[in-house]
């Protein structure tokens, strides 16, 4: 085994916290306790955990409408995140952002985004600022396979390579752009092939293997930090639930057999088997991590239910206009 036990334990805790949060968030949406749409990343935990474990606290991340896992893996606090889903004043964004716009700049989380493909230009801007200021901070853009068709992603990728910016483009390829399979919206088989047009180095990893993701991210981050430019990482992964929530249209566009095949490769179960096999965590200790994660979420739900909504007087707080604009 080439990884220190502490790394494995850390990756496991990150994934378990994401899984506990996402399952609870899905149930809260289905029961109507939280407003709006909630996009779950259950099954995709290895990508968020593996990439963010390779980052420093001061590195930056941009996310997607499916961004809870990235926020948690980057060090986000569960309490304010749950409160944000409830639209409470104690939320990460004061209850004004909701699920699809959750952020926390204090941990380098520059924001999830409901606009498909909007994150990469923001990450490239952050990477430019990092380089201009003479720091070795790295910026990461998470996006899906569907977003890879957006012009904003291509513009950002071209500029990042042209200027050798310290950033990573991480494509979470779960095989579907909402309800459309990859073959229905892309001519390429591997999304990483689009990076060739930008002359950007690209790697493909098994997104259900957290160690493979971690190793690829570690190498890409070291390269970026050394001033040798960006890397495109395509992580082939899968979301167990529908595009939105836990129920819906999954039978109409994918089969139960397909879902079961991916569930059999669950990234958390695979890592837990490795932890037990090497005596790093006992079955009881593994179960304790799971229980602690679920308890953390339940405590956050109780606190959010008791928290107040934003005061109407705060409506225009944190709203900005450019000087001279109308």
pLDDT tens figures, 66-81: 999 999 999 999 999 9
Q: Quick one: which of 152, 187, 167 has its CA closest to 233? A: 167
Q: Which domains does the chain have, with CATH numbers?
A: 5-307 (3.40.50.970)
d(CA 92, CA 265): 33
Sheet harboring 231-236: ordered strands across?
Answer: 109-111, 60-62, 139-144, 167-173, 231-236, 201-206
- pLDDT over 90, % of the chain: 85
Average pLDDT over all residues of the chain: 94
- Structure confidence at residue 318 as a pLDDT band (50, 70, 90): confident
67 in Cβ contact with 75 (< 8 Å): no
Phi, psi (deg, nearest 5) at residue 264: -65, -15
Amino acid 323: pLDDT: 66
Burial of 25 (0-12, 13-18, 19+ CB in 10 A): buried
pLDDT of residue 146: 93
Q: HEC profile for the chain?
A: CCCCHHHHHHHHHHHHHHHHHHHHHHHHHHCCCCCCCCCCCCCCHHHHHHHHCCCCCCCEEECCCCCHHHHHHCCCCHHHHHHHHCCCCCCCCCCCCCHHHCCEHHHCEEECCCCCCCHHHHHHHHHHHHHHCCCCCCEEEEEECCHHHCHHHHHHHHHHHHCCCCEEEEEEECCEECCEEHHHCCCCCCHHHHHHHHCCEEEEEECCCHHHHHHHHHHHHHHHHCCCCCEEEEEECCCCCCCCCCCCCHHHHCCHHHHHHHHCCCHHHHHHHHHHHCCCCCHHHHHHHHHHHHHHHHHHHHHHHHCCCCCHHHCCCCCCCCCCCC
Asked whether the predicted pLDDT for residue 137 surpasses 90, the reply is yes
Q: Which residues contact 5 (CB under 8 A, 6 or more apart)?
A: 278, 280
Q: Which two tokens stand for residue 58?
A: 């001061």
* In the predicted structure, residue 147 carries a pLDDT above the cut 60: yes
pTM value is: 0.95
Question: Mind listing the pLDDT tens digit for each residue in 172-201?
Answer: 999 999 889 888 888 999 999 999 999 999
| Per-residue pLDDT reduced to its tens digit, 91-111 | 999 999 999 999 999 999 999
Which pLDDT band, with edges at 50, 70 and 90, does 252 fall under? Answer: confident
In angstroms, what is the C-alpha Rg of the chain?
Answer: 19
229-246, pLDDT tens digit by residue?
A: 999 999 999 999 989 988
């Amino acid at each position: 085994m080439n990884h220190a036990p502490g790394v494995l334990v850390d990756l496991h805790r990150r994934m378990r916290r994401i899984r506990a949060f996402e399952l609870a968030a899905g149930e809260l949406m289905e029961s109507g306790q939280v407003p709006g749409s909630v996009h779950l990343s259950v099954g995709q935990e290895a990508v968020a955990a593996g990439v963010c474990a390779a980052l420093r606290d001061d590195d930056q991340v941009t996310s997607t409408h499916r961004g809870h896992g990235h926020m948690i893996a980057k060090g986000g606090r569960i309490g304010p995140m749950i409160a944000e889903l409830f639209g409470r004043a104690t939320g990460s964004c004061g209850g004004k952002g909701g699920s699809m716009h959750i952020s926390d700049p204090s941990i380098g989380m520059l924001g999830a985004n409901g606009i498909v493909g909007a994150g990469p230009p923001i990450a490239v801007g952050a990477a430019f600022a990092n380089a201009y200021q003479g720091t070795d901070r790295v910026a990461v853009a998470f996006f899906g396979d569907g977003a890879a068709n957006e012009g904003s992603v291509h513009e950002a990728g071209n500029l990042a390579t042209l200027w050798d910016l310290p950033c990573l483009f991480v494509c979470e390829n779960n095989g579907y752009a909402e309800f459309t399979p990859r073959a229905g919206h892309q001519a390429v088989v591997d999304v990483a092939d689009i990076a060739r047009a930008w002359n950007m180095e690209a790697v493909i990893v098994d997104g259900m293997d957290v160690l493979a993701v971690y190793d690829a991210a570690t190498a890409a981050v070291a390269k970026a930090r050394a001033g040798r430019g960006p890397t495109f990482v395509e992580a082939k992964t899968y979301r167990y639930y529908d595009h939105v929530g836990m129920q819906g249209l999954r039978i109409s566009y994918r089969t139960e057999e397909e879902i079961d095949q991916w569930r059999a490769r669950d990234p958390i179960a695979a890592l837990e088997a490795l932890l037990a096999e090497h005596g790093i965590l006992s079955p009881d200790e593994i179960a304790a991590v799971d229980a602690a994660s679920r308890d953390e979420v339940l405590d956050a739900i109780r606190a959010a239910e008791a928290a107040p909504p934003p005061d109407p007087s705060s409506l225009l707080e944190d709203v900005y206009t450019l000087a001279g604009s109308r």
